[in-house]
């Protein structure tokens, strides 16, 4: 009933996890980048290749019914102009809609039925911010329901490419290397393509669960021309993080990282052994009274800050010791401005 089986008896699927090998996943792909990086052009280029069955960035592509959901104001007309400029084929299986979603189960059920009945195989959503409407992508409460709607489409076998923003340096939510906003957004994605610009060069950083991390350098021609797809020409690519490594090498690196972590925490006083010691254990055997008297041996008034510099230990513990010695009559104290001064009792 629940499809539970012995894993050793499974027959694995021979189906590739990608629609475009290593670039566009069969389930959830996210294309993200800073404004003006060119992520919408990259998404449209991929959409045209998927809809026409033409090679994209050096990979063979099978033609599929592809729907581009243009959610920004005026984006539908802009997309038509870009499609025409790039020489889109008349028999292209690329479709477009700019319908605004409603936040009701019935609307999404109807939308899903239409996609299934028209044999849409790939849905490209440009972009998440517009899909959320008044909601905030920084809020789990706002992001999760919309991502759940898209997940329902994935469950129907419709591949989704979601266009989104990247964070910026020191931004509260997200970073330059990750999709902006709620952690639920990155958790939703199965495969990621980050678009960054370096003047004439665009870098596509591709990573996910089913492929090594790699970088592709492309030229992005906004006039539509491209040697490896509409708008795009592949300059080069390289694998930046291998999915596997030699076992001994992996273990050696992990051990070195572990030792480095232990040393760092010990220097910070945060090792498990240091944390396990009780305050009384850490201070046992430390005669603060004798050390304080030695620091005040001249009989002159001395600032509290000077004492704490000369007597090792926790400043709060030293202050407690000073107060006790004043109460017992061993020390005299007075204030000078904002400073507490002490000397040996005469």
Tell whether 191 and 299 lie within a shared domain. no
Question: To 5 degrees, how large is the angle CA 284–CA 285–CA 291?
Answer: 115
Tell whether 101 and 236 lie within a shared domain. yes
Q: Does residue 303 belong to any structural domain of this protein?
A: yes
Q: Is residue 341 pLDDT above 70, yes or no?
A: yes
- Counting the structural domains of the chain, the total is 2
Q: Does residue 70 belong to any structural domain of this protein?
A: yes
Tell whether 127 and 226 lie within a shared domain. yes
pLDDT band for position 57 (cuts 50, 70, 90): very high
Picking from 240, 266, 289, the residue at the C-terminal end of a domain is 240
Tell whether 307 and 234 lie within a shared domain. no
Picking from 240, 264, 290, the residue at the C-terminal end of a domain is 240
Q: What percent of the chain has pLDDT over 90?
A: 54
Strand, helix or coil for residue 127 = coil
Q: What integer pLDDT is reported at residue 245 of this predicted model?
A: 63
Q: What integer pLDDT is reported at residue 277 of this predicted model?
A: 59
Q: Is residue 123 pLDDT above 60, yes or no?
A: yes
Mean confidence (pLDDT) of the chain: 88
Q: Is residue 173 pLDDT above 60, yes or no?
A: no
Q: What percent of the chain has pLDDT over 70?
A: 90
Q: Does residue 48 belong to any structural domain of this protein?
A: yes
Q: Does residue 318 belong to any structural domain of this protein?
A: yes
Tell whether 102 and 164 lie within a shared domain. yes
Q: What is the mean pLDDT of residues 177-200?
A: 90
Q: Is residue 281 pLDDT above 90, yes or no?
A: no
Tell whether 203 and 294 lie within a shared domain. no
Q: Does residue 256 belong to any structural domain of this protein?
A: no
The token pair at 33 is: 């980048």
Tell whether 167 and 294 lie within a shared domain. no
343 with 331: CB under 8 angstroms?
A: yes
User: Which residues are registered as beta bridge partners of 335?
Assistant: 340
Tell whether 223 and 130 lie within a shared domain. yes
Give the domain CATH number at 313: 1.10.10.10
Q: What is the mean pLDDT of residues 248-257?
A: 86
Q: Does residue 233 belong to any structural domain of this protein?
A: yes
Bigger pLDDT: 285 vs 73: 73
Bigger pLDDT: 91 vs 312: 91
Q: Does residue 9 belong to any structural domain of this protein?
A: no
Q: What is the mean pLDDT of residues 4-10?
A: 87
Domain with 75 in it: 15-240
Q: What is the pTM of this model?
A: 0.70
Give the domain CATH number at 19: 3.40.50.300
End-to-end CA distance of the chain: 90
Tell whether 236 and 317 lie within a shared domain. no
Tell whether 167 and 34 lie within a shared domain. yes
Q: Does residue 10 belong to any structural domain of this protein?
A: no
Tell whether 81 and 182 lie within a shared domain. yes
pLDDT band for position 316 (cuts 50, 70, 90): confident
Q: Is residue 330 pLDDT above 80, yes or no?
A: yes
Q: What are the pLDDT digits (tens) for 84-95? A: 999 999 999 999
User: Which residues are registered as beta bridge partners of 125?
Assistant: 69, 162
Picking from 188, 223, 240, the residue at the C-terminal end of a domain is 240
Tell whether 195 and 92 lie within a shared domain. yes
Long-range contact pairs involving 200-204 (C-beta distance under 8 Å, separation at least 24): 201/235, 202/37, 202/38, 202/42, 204/42
Phi, psi (degrees; rounded to nearest 5) at 218: -135, 155
Strand, helix or coil for residue 7 = helix
Q: What integer pLDDT is reported at residue 283 of this predicted model?
A: 46
Q: What integer pLDDT is reported at residue 247 of this predicted model?
A: 81
């Amino acid at each position: 009933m629940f499809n539970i089986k012995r894993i050793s008896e499974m027959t694995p699927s021979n189906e590739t996890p990608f629609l475009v090998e290593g670039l566009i996943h069969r389930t959830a792909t996210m294309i993200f980048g800073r404004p003006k990086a060119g992520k919408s052009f990259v998404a449209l280029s991929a959409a045209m290749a998927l809809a026409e069955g033409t090679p994209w960035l050096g990979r063979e592509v099978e033609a599929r019914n592809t729907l581009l959901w243009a959610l920004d104001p005026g984006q539908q007309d802009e997309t038509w102009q870009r499609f025409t400029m790039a020489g889109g084929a008349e028999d292209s299986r690329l479709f477009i809609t700019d319908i605004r979603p409603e936040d009701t189960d019935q609307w999404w059920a109807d939308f899903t039925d239409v996609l299934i009945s028209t044999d849409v195989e790939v849905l490209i959503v440009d972009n998440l911010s517009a899909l959320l409407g008044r909601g905030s992508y920084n809020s789990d409460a706002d992001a999760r329901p919309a991502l759940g709607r898209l997940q329902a489409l994935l469950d129907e076998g419709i591949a989704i490419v979601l266009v989104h923003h990247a964070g910026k340096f020191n931004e509260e939510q997200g970073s330059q290397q990750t999709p902006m906003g709620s952690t639920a957004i990155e958790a939703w994605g199965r495969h990621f393509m980050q678009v960054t610009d370096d003047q004439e060069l665009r870098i596509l950083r591709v990573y996910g669960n089913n492929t090594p991390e790699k970088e592709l350098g492309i030229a992005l021609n906004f006039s539509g021309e491209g040697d490896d797809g509409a708008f795009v020409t592949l300059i080069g690519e390289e694998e930046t993080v291998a999915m596997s490594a030699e076992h001994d090498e992996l273990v050696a690196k992990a051990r070195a990282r572990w030792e480095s972590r232990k040393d760092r925490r010990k220097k910070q006083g945060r090792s498990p052994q240091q944390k396990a010691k009780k305050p009384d254990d850490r201070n046992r055997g430390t005669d603060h009274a004798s050390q304080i008297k030695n620091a005040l041996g001249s009989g002159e008034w001395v600032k509290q800050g000077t004492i704490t510099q000369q007597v090792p230990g926790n400043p709060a513990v030293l202050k407690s010791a000073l107060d006790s010695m004043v109460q017992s009559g061993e020390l005299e104290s007075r204030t000078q401005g904002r400073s507490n001064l002490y000397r040996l009792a005469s």
